[in-house]
Amino acid sequence: MTSDVGARKRALRAEIKARRRATPNHEQEHATAALTENLINLAQQLGVRSISAYLSTASEPNVRPFLNWAEERGIRLLFPIVREDGLLDWAVGDGRTEKEGLFGVPEPVGEVLNPMAIGEVDLILVPAACIDQRGMRMGWGRGYFDKTLGSMQKRPPVYAVVFDAEFVDEVPTEVHDQPVDGVVTPSGIVTF
């Protein structure tokens, strides 16, 4: 990583974290309701039977009501298990039963599957700090999803989930950064 790109990424991540912390509860609740509706629409449009998602933290766009909707309809949910070697294992979960994983990230309680399990889903939802108009995703700096997506020979549609203000004109990128196929925000769904 060049020092200039790295510095720009760190500054942007810090700005996004601060903005997320300052968002009032009523705005977060409104965003959650709109985001849930858009995620349901995307899942129905794609006719998904299996989704790879993540267990959102308090500072992330809240995907948990959508996960509850999916689980109630029998949609298989896979969640990432962060490994120290930089890869992700996967586990089938219900979106509610969880424990604290590496780096304090919530992870499901369930049978752990190998990194290849993600190739069997119909849709991949990934967290992000921000997404740009070209579909380039900037994550939180550890590269787990970039490694996973970059290693897949054939992958289902990948959509990042962000707040409206995090869908920006351009993000700083490096060679290893992976684009996504679309973005879901409280305002809508954009497919690249």
Q: 68: domain CATH number?
A: 3.40.50.10420
pLDDT at 84 over 90: no
Q: How many domains does the chain have?
A: 1
What's the longest Cα–Cα distance across the chain? 47
Q: Give the 3-state secondary structure percentages of the chain, helix then strand then coil, rounded to 5.
A: 35, 25, 35
pLDDT digits (tens, 9 = 90+) for 154-172: 899 999 999 999 999 999 8
Task: Indicate the helix (H) or strand (E) that contains 17.
Answer: helix 3-22
Identify the domain containing residue 147 by its residue range.
3-191
pLDDT digits (tens, 9 = 90+) for 96-152: 777 776 776 778 888 888 888 898 899 999 999 999 999 999 988 777 888 888 888
Average pLDDT of the chain, as a whole number: 90
Strand pairing category for 123-127 and 158-161: parallel
Nearest alpha-carbon partner for 152 in 107, 87, 83, 75: 87
